[in-house]
Chains A and B, each alone.
Chain A
Amino acid sequence: MSSKRFTKDHEWIDVEGDIGTVGISDYAQHALGDVVFVEVPEAGREIAKGAEAAVVESVKAASEVYSPVSGTVTAGNAAIVDQPGLVNEAAEGAAWFFKLKLANPAELNDLMDQAAYDAYLKTLE
């Protein structure tokens, strides 16, 4: 059972202790197509829930990645900056975008679990 939680904008967050790992969903990478550029936030940056935290660009378009919760960034994933194509290969795993220390864990309650997200995706078809 996945502990990931999802936003309607197709970000995911996986929390361990008070650190959340954030990325974009497999649905999102597929919709974007070939990812050719990624920008991730630097450690120390404070981000509010719903604020622009990272950028992901395919050949065709640029999209913002919003933070699912508020917190302070502890790491950006340099691997996807060097190799943006990883996002297409492992969006919900190795190609996470950033990690942050949660400011308000209660915000997680506003997010969807895997089953709710899957049901949400069906409404988009």
Chain B
Amino acid sequence: MSESHSDTPLLTVPLDALHRELGAKMVPFAGYAMPVQYPAGVLAEHLHTRSGAALFDVSHMGQAEIKGAKAVELLETLVPGDVRALGIGKTRYSVFTNDQGGILDDLMISKLADDHLFLVINAACKHADFAHLVKHLGGKVELSMIENRSLLALQGPGAAAAMAVLSPEAVSMTFMTIAEITVAGIKCLATRSGYTGEDGWEISVANADAEALARAILGAPGVKPAGLGARDSLRLEAGLCLYGSDIDTETTPVQANISWIMSKRRRAEGGFPGAAVIQKQLAEGAPTLRVGIQPDGKAPARAHTEITDEAGNRLGEICSGGFGPSAGGPVAMGYVPAAFAAIGTRLKLVVRGKAMDAHVCALPFVPHRYFKG
């Protein structure tokens, strides 16, 4: 039950004092002191996000901008997603790939104008991502890492009712759109998106205004704070990938079962790092695939749990796994050879030396409830 501490001092987010005032348990995460849970606890925070609305601080994540006439064309040289077809005011999930087709990071790309893109990238990868952007696009477009803005996520079926009080204009936004809006009188850049499987917004706000915004949102009907612990169990139930666990430089988008991020044009034309590897896998199938795995019993199977076939032959590992509070039992995702990826395939999970029954299941474990208008 001990946590490892490095000698490097932790960075703090602008809402640090508010988190402590709310009684958060702060833990090191990607170099930041972040709230893993509040006094309600991970379970209650998770369930409240599925039934009401929860406010998450995800300010450790990176925000970046690309500006210039060639912004779209050049970003497409680093991601397999269709940035050209992305409409102005729209947001899309994508990944940075390496020359082997592996994933360097996953990200959200929003198009504010044809010459202005807004990116949200993972905390642990943000400096490497930015260096990657500078290396490949530097001098050709204007790149900026946004250090003076926080990022808050309001998530849950009650998010719209809460937002209606604070920002009537936000409520007309649909899933995966971006807009500059005013929330509680504060200028924000918001996307109707999130990473819990629920309706909601991710709101970028100036650091100086972050606490006022957070307090206003927490004061809206039905909103409670939730920490990164709940965010993890929510995204796992939603079947969403966590970089470093479910996707990394050893997995391609095809293996990760997120080939839907690539449009027909990008699949055909390539033109992104590792395109040859990815195109070959799209045509012939990937050797291994990320699948949903449902343990038949009650025991959670955590990350790195060995997956075997029914005869005990090693197939792979669980990449994310645990207890799903809304699913009411254990849920997991893992990589298995393509021949074992069909829904219903019987598997064994080796938990504490014992082979437990499990089967491949459809994702997500809890249906997505996005607002599509």
Cβ A59 vs Cβ B325 within 8 A = yes
B339 at the interface (CB under 8 A from A): no
Complex alpha-carbon distance, A34 and B45, angstroms: 11
User: Shortest distance in angstroms between B74's beta carbon and chain A's nearest beta carbon?
Assistant: 41
Cα–Cα distance between A34 and B44 once the two chains are bound (Å): 9
Q: Apart from A55-B299, A59-B325, what 20 extra A-B contacts exist at CB < 8 Å? A: A10-B1, A28-B1, A31-B1, A32-B1, A33-B42, A33-B229, A34-B41, A34-B42, A37-B298, A37-B299, A37-B300, A39-B299, A57-B300, A57-B323, A58-B42, A59-B42, A59-B46, A59-B233, A59-B323, A60-B36
**A36 touching B323 in the complex, CB below 8 Å, given contacts A59-B229, A60-B42:** yes
Question: Contact: B300 with A62, CB < 8 Å?
Answer: yes
Q: Any chain A CB within 8 A of the CB of B43?
A: yes
Of the candidates B36, B43, B233, B302, the one whose C-beta lies within 8 Å of that of A62 is B302
Asked if A63 is at the interface of the complex by the 8 Å CB criterion, the answer is: yes
CB-CB under 8 A from A61, the residues of chain B are 302
The answer to whether B352 touches A55, judged by C-beta atoms less than 8 angstroms apart, is yes
Q: Are A59 and B299 in contact (CB under 8 A)?
A: no
Q: Which of A28, A32, A55 has the most CB of B within 10 A?
A: A55
A55: which B residues are within 8 A, CB to CB?
299, 352
**A63 cross-chain contacts in B, Cβ below 8 A:** 1
From 55 to 79 in chain A, residues with beta carbon under 8 angstroms from any chain B beta carbon are 55, 57-63
Determine if B68 is an interface residue (Cβ-Cβ < 8 Å): no
Q: Are A34 and B1 in contact (CB under 8 A)?
A: no
How many B residues are at the interface, by size bracket? 10 to 19
A interface residues with partner B (beta carbon < 8 Å): 10, 28, 31-34, 36-37, 39, 55, 57-63
B322 at the interface (CB under 8 A from A): yes
Do the beta carbons of B1 and A33 come within 8 Å of each other? no
Contacts of B204 in A (CB 8 A): none
**Complex Cα spacing A57 to B302, Å:** 10
Across-interface contacts of B43 in A (CB, < 8 A): 33-34, 36, 59
**In whole angstroms, what is the CA distance A60 to B229 when docked?**
7
A-B contact pairs, 16 of them (CB 8 A): A28-B1, A33-B43, A34-B42, A34-B43, A36-B325, A37-B330, A55-B352, A57-B300, A59-B229, A59-B322, A59-B323, A60-B36, A60-B42, A61-B302, A62-B300, A62-B302
CB nearest to B322 among chain A residues: A59
Q: Please, how many angstroms separate the alpha-carbon atoms of A61 and B299 in the complex?
A: 12
**Distance in angstroms between the alpha carbons of A61 and B42 in the assembled complex:** 12
Determine the distance from Cα of A62 to Cα of B229 in the docked complex, in whole angstroms: 14
Return the chain A residue nearest B46 by Cβ.
Answer: A59
Whether the pair B41, A33 counts as a contact (CB closer than 8 A) is yes
- Which residues of the partner chain B approach A10 to less than 8 Å between Cβ atoms? 1
Task: Report yes or no: B352 in contact with A37, Cβ–Cβ below 8 A.
Answer: no
Cα(A13)–Cα(B273), bound, Å: 60
A76 to B46 alpha-carbon distance, docked (Å): 30
Instruction: State the CA gap A10–B2 with chains docked (Å).
Output: 13
Closest-CB distance, B297 to chain A (whole angstroms): 10
B323 touching A37 by the CB < 8 A rule? yes
Say yes or no for B37: interface residue by CB 8 A criterion.
yes
Distance in Å from the Cβ of B275 to the closest Cβ of chain A? 39
| Centre residue among B44, B46, B229 by max chain A CB count within 10 A | B229
Please report the C-alpha to C-alpha distance between residue A37 and residue B325 in the assembled complex, in whole angstroms: 11
CA distance A106 to B101 in the complex (A): 62
Nearest A-chain residue to B1, judged by Cβ: A31
Residues in A neighbouring B322, C-beta threshold 8 A: 59-60
Q: How far is the CA of A37 from the CA of B43 in the complex (A)?
A: 13
Query: Chain A contacts of B300 at CB under 8 A?
Result: 36-37, 57, 62
List residues 195-239 of chain B with CB under 8 A from any CB of chain A.
229, 233
Provide the residues of chain B in CB contact with A36, threshold 8 Å: 43, 300, 323, 325
Query: Which residues from 316 to 373 on chain B have a C-beta closer than 8 Å to any C-beta of chain A?
Result: 322-323, 325, 330, 352
Taking CB atoms, residues of chain A closer than 8 Å to B352 are: 55
- B64-99 residues with Cβ-Cβ distance < 8 A to A are none
- Bound form: Cα–Cα A55–B233 in Å: 20
User: In the complex, which residue of chain A has the Cβ closest to the Cβ of B230?
Assistant: A59
In the A-B complex, the 6 residue pairs with the closest CB atoms: A34-B43, A36-B323, A59-B42, A34-B41, A31-B1, A59-B323
Task: Report A-chain residues with C-beta under 8 Å of the C-beta of B36.
Answer: 60
In the assembled complex, how far is the CB of residue B153 from the closest CB belonging to chain A, in whole angstroms? 19
Chain A residues closer than 8 Å to B299, beta-carbon distance: 37, 39, 55, 57
